[in-house]
Amino acid sequence: MDYNRIAKEVIAAIGGNDNIENAAHCVTRLRLVLKDEKAYDKETLEGIEGAKGVFFNSGQLQIIFGPGTVEKVFAAFQEEAGIKEASLQDVKKAGTGKQNKMQQAFKIFSDIFVPIIPAFVGAAMILGLRSLLTIQFGFLGGSMAENWLWAQDLSRFFEVIATTFAYLPVLVMYSAVKRFGGNPVLGLVVGFVMVTPQLMDRTVYLTGNYQQLDMWHFFGFNIPQVAYQGGVFPAILTVWFLAKVEQFTKKKSPQTLSFILVPTITILLSAIALFLVFGPIGNAIGDDLGWVIDVLYNRAGVFGAFVFAALLQPLTVTGTQHAIQGIEAQLVATTGFNYIQPFWLLH
């Protein structure tokens, strides 16, 4: 395989050296940010020796060459184009800058939820195994957990270790704070504030199954002392604020006191903002979104599936379909049911 010839063909098919803004590679793909995104010839690129696929995603032209091959192609590409390698992060940043506001918003959701997908998958599989132990079997006269002690204990054990959804805001804040450029540890701290057992459980509060509701009295506001279990949108809004506060405090704090002032001020202001501003706003967003999805699923019939399919296509093309996972997580946490999953199956 002549890698220099391949590199020359790639350069010619993307509009020449002058059309290259940034270039890098990952394990399998050559990733390019082009000045003129319409100048590349997809059919020509797909016909180049070794190319296994070509697509445009997140502002990047991505050419799949596969592990091992892509490193050699990129080395020849650098030589022929006379460019220096940019970091993969630089290429992603440059590509994001070419997206519109809606694409950027969905990309943020995608960046937050993709890293924590394994936690959802693991917890869901464990809960699925637990359901096998608690489901009613006619030939047993009940569930396995009701008939055998080992099944009962295993069911309880599975319930304990599948804690992902109970601590959903913690996972979201940890991932989101890295996306927004903050300290992940501070994100964890405020995330645990959202689910602390010292506050009333949100399910108890929403069902009204309580005798007394304690309140905080801040700035003339009466704030219920209620946790935010399952609060995806409150977590994202709060952690965005947290990152901004941390960055601002770092710039303004004296260097000798920065170690003390930055985390203290960041945690304090973020917690106040959570209960005073972003918690209520995030809950309102989640409730309204849940209502819309409930209407599409329970009342709109087949039209709801058409709407979802119409929305999914542009999301998939732009590589931002993972943003829907944040909405799914919110639905599971608040309603116990994922209305979107059947739409995925239909699509």
**Alpha carbon distance 294, 124 (integer Å):** 22
pLDDT tens per residue across span 6-33? 999 999 999 998 888 888 888 788 888 8
Q: Where are the beta strands (DSSP E) in 119-257?
A: 215-218, 221-224
218 DSSP β-pair partners = 221
pLDDT at 336: 59
**Cα–Cα nearest to 156, from 180, 129, 174, 179:** 129
pLDDT tens per residue across span 187-234? 999 999 998 989 988 778 877 788 888 898 877 888 889 888 877 888
**Alpha carbon distance 55, 63 (integer Å):** 7
Domain ranges of the chain: 3-98, 110-345
**Cα–Cα nearest to 246, from 83, 238, 285:** 238
Are the C-beta atoms of 195 and 234 separated by less than 8 Å? no
Q: Give pLDDT < 70 ranges for the chain.
A: 58, 84-100, 102-103, 289-290, 293-294, 296-298, 300-302, 304-305, 308-347
Full 3-state SS string of 78-89: HHHHCCCCCCHH
How high does pLDDT run on average in the chain? 81
Indicate left, alpha or beta for 16 from its phi (over 0: left) and psi (-120 to 50: alpha): left
Q: Supply the DSSP string of 260-321, one letter for each residue.
A: HHHHHHHHHHHHHHIIIIIHHHHHHHHHHHHHHHHHHHHTSTHHHHHHHHHHHHHHHHTT-G
pTM of the predicted model as reported, rounded to 2 decimal places: 0.64
pLDDT at 328: 63
Q: How many CA atoms lie within 13 A of 257 on its CB side?
A: 8
pLDDT at 174: 92
**Alpha carbon distance 88, 16 (integer Å):** 21
pLDDT at 318: 44
Q: Looking at domain 3-98, which of 3.10.20.600, 3.30.365.10, 3.90.950.20, 3.30.1360.60 is its CATH number? A: 3.30.1360.60
Q: Clarify whether 70 is annotated catalytic.
A: no
- Catalytic entry in 26, 117, 125, 166: 26
